[in-house]
A = this chain, B = another copy of it.
Amino acid sequence: MKPLIKRRMFTPGPTPLLPEAVLQALVTPMHHRKEDFKALFREVQEGLRQIFKTRNDIILLTASGSGAMEAAVTNLLEPGQKALVGVAGKFGERWLELTEKYSIRTKTVEVPYGESVDPAQIGAALAADEDIAAVFVQATETSTGARMDLERIGALVKVRENTVLVVDGITGLGTMPIQTDTWGLDIVIGGSQKAFMVPPGLAMLSVSSKAWSRIEKCSRPRYYFDLLRERKGQKEGQAAYTPAISVVQGLKAALDYGFRQGIDALVSNAALLAGATRAAVIRWGMKIFPRAPGNAITCFVPPEGVDPSRVISLMRERFGVLISGGQGSMKGKILRVGHLGYFDFLETLGMIGCLELCFIEAGANLEPGSGAKAAAEFYRAAVRAS
């Protein structure tokens, strides 16, 4: 017997699409140089300001989040300038690849996979070098699920006139509180395919006036990712080059949806689903991998003797569910399931039950139903407490 299965992504991104967003893109023809699109574009920027909790400019780039990371590096820093990079996993390493590629003199504050970058170490590195012009960190490290203390890191950078703080918030936005202005985050980067519930294709950056001052002075050549050129046009709802129109349309629908729920409600929803999933993982006797986990994903260590890649295959074959394994040095050691964006409790509970069946089939000694029991108990306590 081959039961009917629906394909579902429980990956850290791309994430499930909001149907209203897909339909909006599908049914409304739009030209990016006409007035209706310009108005839509500005509404999307205003909506993103509320998500980012900022009054800074929002720039949309037709690129993945990595493109926006590159834009931040090439618009801010000349060759030979100094940067400090917090590295806690694969996406911290991506900042390093970028700064190295662009001949930036880089210092790192590095922690093992699963740990969070230590703000005290950031503080010490900054204190030791007045020339550090930019600090690059993640809000949450997607490869490990670890959450960074952006508020403390922001406080350290805010007081330095010549240093800007650049935050990769790609999995952090919409899953953890990010107070861009209050915490002094100069550039915050997001990607459409994460908590925003729309397809890949758009990256967004909030840019503070402190960051703009540096960008204005930066003479490094850049063309497609020229933030100054984008700032000029985007105030009028115009991207310099053809934007991913359907994703902008979808993003408007998703922001409308997000605001109906309330942004903080989206964050607490991710927290609820993450908490329920972790309750199951812990009940199964498995270890949550990061010391300070964010809500975007649950990253955990399967039991001895169970091959994580077998569990991943079984989830796909038996139940049509995509979950993720480890990246980089964590390959074959951990599992990751997503909570960012358009997920709800019912399907998360179903996913937990299916994951349990796959673990049992892969040789783990689990009591059937124990994960659902733990998740249900967590849910009851969480809803009662609120």
Contact = CB atoms under 8 A, between A and B. Distances in A.
A159 interface: no
B357 A346 contact: no
A117 interface: no
Interface string A248-267: 00000000000001000110
Number of copies: 2
Interface centre among A4, A348, A350, A373 (most CB of B within 10 A): A4
A376 B357 contact: yes
B272 A3 contact: yes
Interface in A337-361: 342-351, 353-354, 356-357, 360
Contact of A2 (B27, B261, B379): B261
Interface stretch (A92-100, A127-135, A364-372): A364-372
Contact of A342 (B4, B265, B373): B4
Given A353-B375, A374-B369, A347 B4 contact: no
Interface residues of A, number: 51
A187 to B, nearest CB: 28
A386 interface: yes
Contacts of A269: 3-4
Contacts of A273: 3
B1 A272 contact: yes
A276 to B, nearest CB: 10
A201 interface: no
A34 interface: no
B346 A350 contact: yes
Interface string A313-336: 000001111000000000000000
B320 A344 contact: yes
Interface in A225-255: none
A5 interface: yes
B346 A347 contact: yes
B368 A353 contact: no
Interface string A195-210: 0000000000000000
A321 B343 contact: no
Interface of A: 1-6, 8, 26-27, 261, 265-266, 268-269, 272-273, 318-321, 342-351, 353-354, 356-357, 360, 367-377, 379-380, 382-383, 386
23 contacts: A1-B268, A3-B344, A4-B342, A4-B343, A5-B345, A6-B346, A8-B346, A320-B344, A346-B350, A348-B350, A350-B351, A353-B372, A360-B380, A367-B373, A368-B376, A368-B377, A368-B380, A369-B369, A369-B370, A369-B373, A370-B373, A372-B372, A372-B376
